[in-house]
């Protein structure tokens, strides 16, 4: 799905060769400051390489139309932003922006349940905790059924039991819907249990 060739980015990343297979879960682990987030940003061209190439489906990400690229590849940051006032609006906003038909309320509620988010559609997003906002962002992205999700520590604000349930549901959903999931995680357990592939980024290199 993605491949990196001789990539250099400032003194942050130096990667000779790396491939992310389609429709699989790839976990990225490694110490703080090693370059994990920067690597995700390179994949959807939020930052550009100084040298080398990042290819998505065989074409340099810099040559993709940015809108088309982001229609296929979504990144969820560690502290996801919200765009609207209520949980329900938040789950619908991506459909409205792209002119797609909004799913029925039942589907929205089912996805919230899968992501362990026990809130009403009318709940104000300002009242959500950091962990609840993470789960809302996951639900919002999964509903949109994109090809690729880039997840930067999607469960960093969750307790261990909730984290396990959320990642399990996420992995099931990804596998059933042929979504390529690329996930930075602090948890070696999660990487071992759910990653089809795992690699470590340390001091800007794949080790
Ligand atoms: N645009 C940039 N220019 C220069 N340095 C940068 C840039 N972006 C990030 N860095 C630096 O690159 C290093 C790696 O940052 P990055 O956020 O990728 O690490 P990380 O592995 O995701 O860390 P954490 O686990 O703490 O989130 C940091 O030292 C950061 O300050």
pLDDT digits (tens, 9 = 90+) for 16-44: 999 999 999 999 999 999 999 999 999 99
CATH number for the region 2-206 comes to: 3.40.50.300
| pLDDT given at position 78 | 87
- Ligand 1 centroid to Cα of residue 184, in Å, is 13
The pLDDT, as a whole number, for residue 156 is: 85
Q: Give the contacts of 167 (CB within 8 A, at least 6 positions apart).
A: 154, 155, 190, 194
CA of 47 to the centre of ligand 1 (A): 12
DSSP line for 9-29: ETTTEEEEEEEE-TTSEEEEE
Sheet with 51-56: strands ordered across = 13-20, 2-9, 51-56, 59-60
Smallest CA separation from ligand 1 atom 10, residue: 12
CB 5 within 8 Å of CB 17:
yes
What is the Cα–Cα distance from 26 to 193, expressed in whole angstroms?
11
Query: Which atom of ligand 1 lies closest to the CA of 186?
Result: 25
Give the Å distance between the CA of 43 and the centre of ligand 1.
15
C-beta 36 within 6 A of ligand 1: yes
Which residue bears the tokens 């920067």?
38
pLDDT in tens, 89-115: 999 998 988 888 999 999 999 999 999
pTM of model > 0.90: yes
Pocket-testing residue among 9, 29, 38, ligand 1, by greatest number of atoms within 8 A of Cβ? 38
Tokens representing 195?
A: 């990653």
Low-confidence residues of the chain: pLDDT under 50: none
Please work out whether the CB of residue 33 comes within 6 Å of at least one atom of ligand 1: yes
Strands 180-184 vs 13-20: parallel, antiparallel or unpaired: unpaired
């Amino acid at each position: 799905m993605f491949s990196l060739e001789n990539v250099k980015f400032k003194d942050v990343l130096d990667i000779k060769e790396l491939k992310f297979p389609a429709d699989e879960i790839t976990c990225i682990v490694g110490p703080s400051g090693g370059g994990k987030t920067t690597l995700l940003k390179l994949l959807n061209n939020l930052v550009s390489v100084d040298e080398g190439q990042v290819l998505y489906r065989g074409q340099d990400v810099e040559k993709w139309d940015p809108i088309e690229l982001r229609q296929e590849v979504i990144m969820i940051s560690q502290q996801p932003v919200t765009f609207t006032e209520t949980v329900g609006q938040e789950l619908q906003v991506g459909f409205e922006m792209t002119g797609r038909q909004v799913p029925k309320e039942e589907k929205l509620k089912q996805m919230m349940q899968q992501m362990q988010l026990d809130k009403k559609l009318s709940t104000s997003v300002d009242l959500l905790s950091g962990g609840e906002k993470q789960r809302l962002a996951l639900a919002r992205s999964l509903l949109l059924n994109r090809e690729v999700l880039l997840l930067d520590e999607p469960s960093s604000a969750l307790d261990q039991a909730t984290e396990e349930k959320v990642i399990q549901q996420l992995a099931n959903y990804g596998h059933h819907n042929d979504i390529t999931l690329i996930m930075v995680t602090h948890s070696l357990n999660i990487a071992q249990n759910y990653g089809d592939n795992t690699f470590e980024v340390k001091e800007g290199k794949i080790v």
